[in-house]
Chains A and B, each alone.
Chain A
Amino acid sequence: EDKVVQSPLSLVVHEGDTVTLNCSYEVTNFRSLLWYKQEKKAPTFLFMLTSSGIEKKSGRLSSILDKKELFSILNITATQTGDSAIYLCAGAGGTSYGKLTFGQGTILTVHP
């Protein structure tokens, strides 16, 4: 059975702090690792990683994949209150494109 595990489950920081969110995965026919941000409702896409060692960056967010260790991290630098959300990691695999196995999420709370 495919499995994605995230840590920590929750994190409370102050504005300006840097955070690192972790994701380990075991996904059959693994194709890619995706990060989503979930605020009130729908998960919104952040990154898709397919190759080891290549950092993806978008503003203050960055992510990297280690396919040997089956692990990914999401870094957020200079956190802002608007970064408060649930961050979801998902492994894409299986027989159909886009079948995602999600982790339980990391709840990030950024205090002013």
Chain B
Amino acid sequence: EPEVTQTPSHQVTQMGQEVILRCVPISNHLYFYWYRQILGQKVEFLVSFYNNEISEKSEIFDDQFSVERPDGSNFTLKIRSTKLEDSAMYFCASSIPGQGKTEAFFGQGTRLTVV
């Protein structure tokens, strides 16, 4: 069964460092997303990406964050200068656009720990 894959599964970084989280969405999906879940809190929407551009982003997704689809398969989230409060599980998701097909399928997540 096709799945969304994320790497690495766990990343530890020092405050102020840049990190890149990587995702390979399901191959025939066209919408890509990043969500995050701080420990013990809700899953929160960060950004959606379609047709090589951001289609929607939340207030959390500030100038420290950026997304890119550098080739036909990868989808990345970059955090330029990490802060302690960026520590969270980051989930990539993908979906097929179209009426009635809004379900997003999630990857296993990358646990980011900022120290």
Give A contacts to B, CB under 8 Å. 31-32, 34, 36, 41-45, 48, 50, 88, 90, 92, 94-105
Chain B, interface size: which category?
A: 20 to 34
Report the Cα distance A100→B42, complex, angstroms.
Answer: 11
Contact: B106 with A88, CB < 8 Å?
no
With A43-B106, A45-B105, A50-B100: A95-B55 Cβ-Cβ less than 8 Å: yes
Name the prevailing secondary structure of the B interface residues: strand
Contact: A101 with B45, CB < 8 Å?
yes
User: How many inter-chain contacts with C-beta < 8 Å in the A-B complex?
Assistant: 72
Nearest-neighbour CB distance to chain A for B7, whole angstroms, equals: 14
Is B75 in contact with chain A by the CB < 8 A criterion? no
Contact: A97 with B91, CB < 8 Å?
no
Contact: B44 with A102, CB < 8 Å?
yes
Contact: B42 with A105, CB < 8 Å?
yes
Picked from B42, B48, B102, B108, the residue with its CB within 8 Å of the CB of A42 is B108
Report the Cα distance A34→B48, complex, angstroms.
Answer: 17
Q: Mark B83-98, 1 if CB is under 8 A from A, else 0.
A: 0000001010101011
Contact: A96 with B105, CB < 8 Å?
no
Report the Cα distance A71→B43, complex, angstroms.
Answer: 20
Nearest-neighbour CB distance to chain B for A103, whole angstroms, equals: 7
Contact: B31 with A98, CB < 8 Å?
yes
Q: Mark B47-80, 1 if CB is under 8 A from A, else 0.
A: 0101000011000000000000000000000000
Report the Cα distance A42→B95, complex, angstroms.
Answer: 15
